[in-house]
């Protein structure tokens, strides 16, 4: 495949610190068959954690990641869990059976345009699924819960971003409701180079087919990071002692300047040595020209990790309770997609006390 490299030095996290933290931990990863989940699983296998559980509903992908982990670490105790995070009873049963110290919740619907067309599915997976996972983790006595979020949770205008932001706020609400001993955190990041469904493999496939490559807008820009950075960020944030953190904060890594999607396409065409056209297809529903890592409804603070920052809600009532999630769950199961999208954003705008959201 035609490669593309970041135009900045790759951020390196302290592997020795991570290894020391996870070496004696039992860890469960939801969404383990995905790009980020599988990379997390392989890194944790190399660290020699005490037990690694991989949970996903995608059977073929789950088999692949479990086999890869067993090959990389033959002596590691491994559990495969074929489970849908929407099924709270089954998920709770798995969590209690596995008794993990650390739960990394990576399972999600991550594609913006699919979320716009299927907001019901997006809410059920990205919000209800998080409600189920964090409750199950607390019930099972986990000490750490890490939610893998997205930069699209900042100033969200798409359904996927809105559900991710509400999920972050639910960690805040859950902590207020239950006051669990479990440490709750979430981490936002940009596009991971080469991940499933991302722009690089799509451009590579279009170039291989003779073109054209499709760009939605000539001014489209995104944050990018490597898979190693994504894994390092998640594992480090889950492990650090952050004494200034109050409640369930979200974290992000400084990723340098946003990158032009058009420039990526041109560079990949140049590297291919082929004469490939670029076609501008127009912005899709829910897309922004530029992403951001935090917004006006949040405060930003430094953390013990260099180049990593914590964001916390500026409004005291910016939280989502279990009752809020239950209400939205009932709504999405009984109403049409267009109404669901409207109600979803109305709820989020109220929680964030914002009235100037872009149409999206």
Question: How does DSSP assign 255-321, residue by residue?
Answer: --S-EEHHHHHHHHHHHHTS---EEE--PPTT--SS--S--TTEEEEE-SSTTEEEEEESSTT----
Contact partners, residue 6, CB within 8 Å, separation at least 6: 193, 224, 225, 226, 256
How many Cα atoms within 13 Å fall on the side-chain side of residue 348? 28
Give the whole-angstrom CA distance, residue 44 versus residue 299: 32
Does residue 164 carry a catalytic annotation? no
DSSP code of residue 209: T
Give the whole-angstrom CA distance, residue 190 versus residue 206: 23
How many Cα atoms within 13 Å fall on the side-chain side of residue 195? 24
Q: How far is CA 157 from CA 5, 109, 113, in A?
A: 29, 16, 12
Kindly name the residue from 110, 152, 164, 288 that is annotated as catalytic: 152
Count of C-beta atoms within a 10 Å radius of residue 300: 11
Enter the tokens of residue 96.
């209690």
Enter the tokens of residue 224.
């990018």
Report residue 236: phi and psi, to 5°: -75, -45
- Closest by CA to 145, choosing from 121, 124, 167, is 167
- Closest by CA to 107, choosing from 82, 81, 126, is 126
Contact partners, residue 19, CB within 8 Å, separation at least 6: 47, 48
- Closest by CA to 169, choosing from 333, 319, 19, is 319
Crossing angle of helices 15-22 and 35-47, rounded to 10°: 80
Task: Tell me if the bond preceding 212 is cis, omega within 30° of 0.
Answer: yes
What is the set of active-site residues?
A: 152
């Amino acid at each position: 495949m035609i490669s593309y490299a970041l135009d900045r030095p790759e951020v390196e996290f302290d592997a020795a610190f991570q290894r020391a933290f996870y070496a004696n931990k039992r860890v469960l990863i939801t969404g383990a068959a995905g790009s980020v989940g599988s990379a997390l699983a392989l890194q944790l296998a190399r660290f020699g954690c005490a037990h690694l559980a991989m949970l996903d509903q995608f059977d073929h992908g789950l088999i692949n990641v479990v086999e890869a982990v067993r090959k990389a670490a033959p002596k590691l105790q491994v559990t495969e869990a074929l489970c849908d995070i929407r099924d709270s009873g089954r998920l709770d049963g798995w969590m209690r059976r596995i008794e993990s110290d650390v739960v990394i919740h990576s399972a999600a619907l991550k594609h913006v345009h699919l979320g716009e067309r299927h907001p019901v599915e997006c809410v059920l997976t990205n919000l209800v699924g998080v409600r189920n996972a964090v409750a199950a983790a607390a019930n099972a006595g986990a000490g750490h819960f890490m939610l893998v979020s997205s930069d699209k949770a900042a100033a969200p205008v798409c359904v996927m971003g809105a559900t991710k932001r509400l999920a972050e706020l639910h960690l805040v609400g859950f902590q207020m409701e239950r006051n669990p001993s479990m440490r709750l955190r979430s981490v936002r990041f940009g596009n991971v180079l080469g991940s499933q469904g991302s722009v690089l493999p799509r451009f590579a496939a279009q170039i291989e087919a003779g073109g054209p490559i499709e760009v939605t807008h000539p001014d489209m820009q995104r944050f990018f990071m490597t898979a190693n950075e994504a894994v390092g960020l998640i594992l480090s944030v889950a492990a650090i002692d952050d004494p200034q953190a109050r409640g369930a904060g979200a974290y992000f890594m400084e990723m340098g300047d946003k990158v032009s999607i058009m420039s990526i396409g041109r560079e990949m065409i140049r590297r291919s040595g082929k004469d490939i056209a670029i076609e501008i297809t127009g912005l899709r529903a829910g897309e922004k020209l530029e992403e951001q890592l935090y917004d006006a409804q949040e405060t930003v603070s430094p953390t013990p990790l260099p180049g990593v920052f914590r964001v916390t809600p500026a409004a005291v009532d910016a939280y989502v309770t279990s009752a809020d999630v239950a209400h939205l769950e009932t709504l999405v199961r009984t109403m049409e997609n267009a109404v669901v999208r409207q109600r979803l954003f109305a709820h989020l705008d109220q929680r964030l006390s914002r009235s100037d959201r872009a149409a999206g």
